[in-house]
Amino acid sequence: MEYLSTDKILVIDLNAGQVEEDELDESLVEEKIGGIGITRYLYDKYRQDDPIVIGTGLLTGTTYPASASGQITAKSPVTGKVCHCPVIYKLGVEIKYSGYDYIVVKGRSESPVYLWIHDGVADISDAADIWGKNVWEATDELRTFVGDDLLQTMMIGPAGENGSDYAQVCFNHWSSPDRFGFGKLFGAKNLKGLAFRGMGLIEIAEPEDYVEQSLEILKQVKENDFIQKKGLAQILSALGEEDVVEWIQPVTHRHSADYFTPYATNTYLFLDEESGLLEESKKEEPGVLVSDIYALLGFKKAGLSAVDAGRALKACAKYGIDPFAVTQLSGKTTLDEIKDCFDSIKGEIEIPGKGLFTPWCPTGPIFNDFDLAGEDETLAWWERRQAVSMIFGIQPLFSLMCPELTEENMLELASLGTDLELTQEILDAVIDDILG
């Protein structure tokens, strides 16, 4: 596969300690397009090895607005279903530029390992020095070891090592959309995590048209009122939780966006620092980056102050546990109790619809109404929108805001980018396959 692709699938066998590379056949892209279309295909191909399949969308890391995300497809140890978790922040892009479109991790290692994937090279590395460390320590240690602070990681903490049901795979230092207990799966495979770094180059079949069309779409996106807003509190406010805005404001530092995403979906809370500080903080760990709107809301509803909610979120991110599961299943209402309860989280959280996509995303539109009527239509729209976002690699919260990102223009850009004829019929078939 020549365009919008690294042309490479990595297959890592943890049992044998071996790394193999396959080419990404153009015919597979013609049939499954990309993202979860292909991670699901690869999951089925290697099903007997209980694989974790990591991938990127066909448009990930390009100039298409919000082309930020990657995907993890695996069987949830909590629900028993094959689920798809979006990879957010700058990590999805780093995966593609590190040299692989898809990574299959199969089997189980005898001893703890991590995978170091950089510039088209992949190593299975001994994780003895980082096993037992929390997510922050492990990420910092790998960055120091490699000598690159821009190393992007997927990492588990003690929760995943201890086999907690709601162990989360975290991204760099931060919580992720993983509500499926994928952290437990990593732990069961003796896989501490993955580290990515890459400076690759992605070719485009029709570069000028691709970039021109991207800008046309971006101009339409910028007509939205939400372009004046930033951060999590505004999203929650639009979803009817207006109180969050005032509650969180005193500890809000800045808002940041995932790669090429026109809305800043991440909010940084300063917990041990003046929130108005502009200079670099002298404290090593002054706060926490939050992307999980429902975990934030859950801690508020439990009666925590904004500072304590931030501290609870930080503790969850270090321990590598889903903070939303903590809010829903622990019944705890003070910070100390919350920090003490991580190993005892049990129970079920509801995964909407067919149970394939994460309720980290609101199950309806944000800021715009998308002309939807009724709960059933909204849920069906949501599942389709999630599937489409994760086929093409679109930031999943942003795709719920932005009607200008259409299936039609994603297909148009995918065709311009690859020189393949990718049609609505193909996309419909891929979605049907995913939704079952």
Partner 1 sequence: MGIKINALKCTNCMACEMVCSYHRDDGFAFLSACIVSYRAKEKKDYFGMMLKEEDVLVVARPEGLEINKIGEEADPDKEADASAKPMLLREGCDLCEDMDDYGPMCVAFCPVDAITLD
Binding-site ranges for partner 1 (CB under 8 A): 61-63, 65, 90, 93, 97, 136, 148-150, 172-173, 199-204, 207, 211-212, 215, 218, 221-222, 227, 230, 253-262, 264, 268, 270, 278-281, 283-287, 289
Nearer to partner 1, 37 or 61 (CB): 61
What are 4's two structure tokens? 């919008």
On the 0-12 / 13-18 / 19+ scale of CB atoms within 10 A, 240 is exposed
CB–CB of 104/8 below 8 Å?
no
| DSSP code for 86 | E
d(CA 417, CA 205): 5
Q: Which amino acid is at 208?
A: E
d(CA 31, CA 420): 11
Nearer to partner 1, 136 or 382 (CB): 136
Nearer to partner 1, 253 or 385 (CB): 253
Nearer to partner 1, 281 or 368 (CB): 281
Q: CB pairs under 8 A, 24+ apart, for 237-242?
A: 238/366, 238/367, 239/293, 239/362, 239/366, 241/297
Minimum distance from CB of 283 to partner 1 (Å)?
Answer: 8
Minimum distance from CB of 381 to partner 1 (Å)?
Answer: 25
CB–CB of 87/95 below 8 Å?
yes
d(CA 111, CA 15): 10
- Beta-carbon count within 10 A of 236 CB: 23
What are 280's two structure tokens? 């670099």
Give DSSP secondary structure letters for 115-154: EEEETTEEEEEE-TTTTTS-HHHHHHHHHHHHT-TT-EEE
Minimum distance from CB of 324 to partner 1 (Å)?
Answer: 22
Q: What is the H or E stretch that residue 258 is in?
A: none
Minimum distance from CB of 258 to partner 1 (Å)?
Answer: 7
Minimum distance from CB of 404 to partner 1 (Å)?
Answer: 12
CB–CB of 7/25 below 8 Å?
no
Nearer to partner 1, 149 or 421 (CB): 149
d(CA 386, CA 192): 28
Minimum distance from CB of 270 to partner 1 (Å)?
Answer: 7
Nearer to partner 1, 128 or 215 (CB): 215
- Beta-carbon count within 10 A of 267 CB: 25
User: Which residue is associated with the tokens 């109790």?
Assistant: 337
Minimum distance from CB of 7 to partner 1 (Å)?
Answer: 13
CB–CB of 130/18 below 8 Å?
no
Nearer to partner 1, 196 or 382 (CB): 196
What are 16's two structure tokens? 């044998």
Minimum distance from CB of 203 to partner 1 (Å)?
Answer: 5
Minimum distance from CB of 142 to partner 1 (Å)?
Answer: 14
What distances in angstroms separate CA 79 from CA 156, 173, 251, one per listed residue? Answer: 19, 26, 36
Minimum distance from CB of 279 to partner 1 (Å)?
Answer: 5
Nearer to partner 1, 110 or 280 (CB): 280
Nearer to partner 1, 357 or 367 (CB): 367
3-state DSSP assignment of residue 30: helix
Nearer to partner 1, 270 or 319 (CB): 270
